[in-house]
Amino acid sequence: SPSSMSFNHLRIQRKLFSTLTTDERDAWTQLLRESITSRWAFVSPTYAEAVNADLGPVEVLLFWQGDELVGVMPLQRAAGWLGRLGMREPVGRYMTDYFGILTRPEVRLEWSPLLRAAGIPCLHFTHLDESQAAHGLTGDNPRSGLRTRIHPDGGEAHWEYLRTQDRKLVNDTERRERKLVAEHGPLQFEMQSASPMQDLEALIKLKNAQYRRTGHDGGALLEPANARLLARLLLSRDANCQPRLSVLRCEGRLVASHFGLQCGPMLHYWFPVYDNQFSAYSPGRILYRHILLAAQAHGIACIDRGEGDSPAKRDFANEEHRFFKGLVGSGMRGQILCLIQRLNWRFSA
């Protein structure tokens, strides 16, 4: 149909991020600003640039209609020898909470011809949002993603609305906050930390202690390069990839903190953590409440919890969507790489 732009009308170019022109970066930023379904920090040029600096070279698929850039998909070689043989993953690999093509609503694609045109034999992805199906991109193994769509009148109104929906949760959170104050002194909340480098260091330390405590050996921030990525993102001044380091203290002592990225009105709730010595007070919930109350003043209309379903994420969620995984290939080499990857998974399970 004339309203949809099929694959045949598009030219695909694969470029190293470091070779993008200013015009290409500007056109990419413009696509991100205009996007209704894919306005995510994880597909921003700023995120790709930080990943390129700390986690190795980033490649970008550029989708052209004539001279006009109509789509962008940032990728990276997979880690290890499969990557050397040509397998690609989303930019940032398992750090990344969203994957897909950033494009105009009318663009339609298919995985195999897309990879063939880009000269990529095999792609392994997670976190493909369900909205990507509108562009023809699908996967399997659906998993839940949860979000808090904030009341149009802001966080205070949202909290009062929650009281009518889940009185027990709201009352319990407020009670624990009062108890925390009574036993440890007044709370200080900063939506944006006044000592960001120091607080990020403390967050990473607490997060890694949590990974070890819970036997999560593959914890993202145990990898020094991933921790460096956060430090680099902390310096960003881009409204499409704005660092949010929020902290909750008692008498100067860090109780809970969260590092996320804001893209326009969406806050990606990315790395929340609390000091385990305060666990009896549910400090994660108290921090979330304060972020929620401050959201409107910082232009936040939605808090996105990423992939995964847990009671803690369910607590304040009012919207659910699906993420998909996939392993797609093109050509003989792609089929072989996909096969090796599947065998890897089977034998390491």
Q: Tell me, what DSSP letter sits at residue 78?
A: P
pLDDT, averaged per 10 consecutive residues of the chain (349 residues), comes to: 59 97 98 95 98 97 96 96 95 96 95 96 97 97 96 95 93 98 97 98 96 88 96 97 98 96 97 96 97 97 92 88 96 94 87
Kindly report the pTM of this predicted structure: 0.95
Look-up of token digits 């930080």 = 50
Q: Cα angle vertex 70, ends 66, 72, to 5°?
A: 125
Report the distance separating Cα 186 and Cα 249, nearest Å: 8
- Contact criterion met (CB below 8 Å) for 315 and 144: no
Report the distance separating Cα 246 and Cα 284, nearest Å: 12
φ and ψ at residue 77, rounded to 5 degrees: -65, 140
Report the distance separating Cα 40 and Cα 266, nearest Å: 8
Please give the structure tokens belonging to residue 53: 């600096």
Report the distance separating Cα 117 and Cα 101, nearest Å: 15
Cβ neighbourhood burial of 316 (10 Å; 0-12, 13-18, 19+): buried
Q: Which amino acid, 39? A: R
Q: Cα angle vertex 275, ends 271, 276, to 5°?
A: 110
Q: What is the DSSP string of 101-152?
A: -EE-TTB---HHHHHHHHT-SEEEEEEEEGGGGGGT---EEEEEEEEEE--T
Report the distance separating Cα 65 and Cα 184, nearest Å: 61
Report the distance separating Cα 276 and Cα 274, nearest Å: 6
Report the distance separating Cα 103 and Cα 30, nearest Å: 10
- Contact criterion met (CB below 8 Å) for 89 and 125: yes
Sign of the C-alpha dihedral computed for residues 36, 41, 43 and 44 taken in this order:
positive
Check residue 8 and give its pLDDT.
67
Beta strand 302-307 with 266-274: parallel, antiparallel or unpaired?
A: parallel
Alpha carbon distances (Å) from 333 to 60, 116, 123, 200, 310: 21, 11, 12, 42, 39
Report the distance separating Cα 293 and Cα 153, nearest Å: 11
